[in-house]
Amino acid sequence: MSIGKLETQDSELVKIEIGLLLEGIYRKYGYDFRNYSYASIRRRIWHRIRLEGLPNVSSLQERVMHNGDVFHRLLGDLMIPVTEMFRDPEMFLAFRQEVVPYLRKLPNIRIWHAGCSTGEEVHSMAILLHEEGLLERTRIYATDINESAMNTAQNGFIPIDKMKQYTKKYQMAGGMQSFSDYYESEHGIVKLKPFLRQNIVFARHNLVTDSSFNEFHVIMCRNVMIYFNTLLRDQVHTLFYESLAQEGYLIVGSKETITFTPTADKYETRYDQHRIFRKLR
C-alpha cells in the first residue's frame, strides 16, 4: 500500500500517533508543538516520513527518539522560516504614520519581534527607525525558537537574488534613502551593514513555554500564530498583553486577528487592514 493511502486511512490512529510523537519530542528535546495547528503539523510530519522512506508516524517516532539527526531534520520541517525584507510594505508605511509619532515621545524605546526567523523584518524595522532618527534610543529584542534561523539573522546576510524585490518593497514602505546604503556586496554575497544590528538583541525564546521578559512599547508577531490552535493562540495573546506598556502597539500578520481572543476588548484598532492595534489605558 502506498504512503499516500496510509496517510489518509485510520485518521484517529494517525492522530494518536502524532500526539505521541509530539509528546515525545517535548519530553526529550524540550520543543513543544503539541498545540500547533493539527493540519499544518500533520502535513509537515508526512513530508518528513516520505523523505525518510518510512511507512507511518510510529516509525518516524522511533527514529526521532533514537537518532538526533532525524530529529533535527524533522525540526527543520516543523519550523520553516518564511520572511522577507519589508514584507507587506504598506504595513511599514502605516507604522511610520501611526506608531512613530508615539515612539518619538519616549526617552527609550523597547520593541519585541517575536518569531523573528532569519531576521529580514527585524532589519527592516532597524532601517525604518534609523531613517526616523529613533534607532539610537531603541532596543529591539528579536526572538525565535529556531536557533539556526537566528544565527542567520545575527550574521545579517540576505539573498542576492532578492535584492531587486527588496529594493522595490523598501521604496513602497516609504524608504527615504537608497536601499543600497544599507548593505555591502562582495563576491556575490550581500550583507547588511553592522550598524543596523548594534541595538538588536537576538535570543532564543519559545512562545509556547517561556514567559514575558520585559515591558515593550511595540510587539510584532506576524504570521506565527497561524500555526497555533485556539488554546495556544489565546495563551500567546495573553503573554503579549501582559508584556505591552500602556498605549503600546501590537502588530500581527495580515491573516491573523485579535478577534475572539481573551484580550480583544483591551485594544483599539488603529489600522485593521494592517493589523495594528493599540493597548487601551
Query: Does residue 270 or residue 37 have the better pLDDT?
Result: 270
Q: 62: Cβ–Cβ under 8 A, 6 or more apart, which residues? A: none
pLDDT confidence band for 76 (50 / 70 / 90)? confident
Query: Does residue 103 or residue 188 have the better pLDDT?
Result: 103
Q: What are the E-state strand segments in the chain?
A: 109-114, 138-144, 157-158, 183-186, 189-192, 200-204, 216-221, 244-252, 267-271, 276-279
pLDDT at 81: 66
pLDDT at 7 over 90: no
pLDDT at 229: 87
Q: Residue 2 has what DSSP assignment?
A: -
Q: Average of pLDDT values for 64-74?
A: 94
- How far is Cα 261 from Cα 281, in angstroms, rounded to an integer? 18
| 231-259 pLDDT, tens digit each | 999 999 999 999 999 999 999 998 898 99
Question: Of 105-114, 143-152, 181-190, 219-228, which one has max mean pLDDT?
Answer: 105-114
pLDDT at 156 over 70: yes
Going from the C-alpha of 215 to that of each of 21, 68, 138, 219, the distances in angstroms are 35, 37, 13, 10
- pTM, two decimal places: 0.83
pLDDT at 6 over 60: no
170 and 178 Cβ atoms separated by less than 8 Å: no
- How far is Cα 177 from Cα 181, in angstroms, rounded to an integer? 7
User: Which class for 39: exposed (0-12), middle (13-18), buried (19 or more C-beta within 10 A)?
Assistant: exposed
**Mean of the per-residue pLDDT values of the chain:** 91
pLDDT at 83: 85
pLDDT at 44: 93
Name which of 196, 130, 195, 185 is nearest 159 in CA terms: 185
2-11, 40-49, 75-84, 120-129: the lowest-pLDDT one? 2-11
| 208-225 pLDDT, tens digit each | 889 999 999 999 999 888
pLDDT confidence band for 11 (50 / 70 / 90)? confident
Percent of the chain clearing pLDDT 70 (strictly above): 96
pLDDT at 31: 84
Cell numbers linked to 199: 541595538
pLDDT at 4 over 70: no
Cell numbers 486511512 correspond to what residue? Answer: 9
pLDDT confidence band for 1 (50 / 70 / 90)? very low
Query: Does residue 80 or residue 178 have the better pLDDT?
Result: 178
| 18-53 pLDDT, tens digit each | 999 999 999 998 888 888 889 889 999 999 999 999
Three-state DSSP at 265 gives: helix
Give helix 89-98 / helix 163-172 axis angle, nearest 10°.
30
Q: Which helix (H) or strand (E) holds 91?
A: helix 89-98
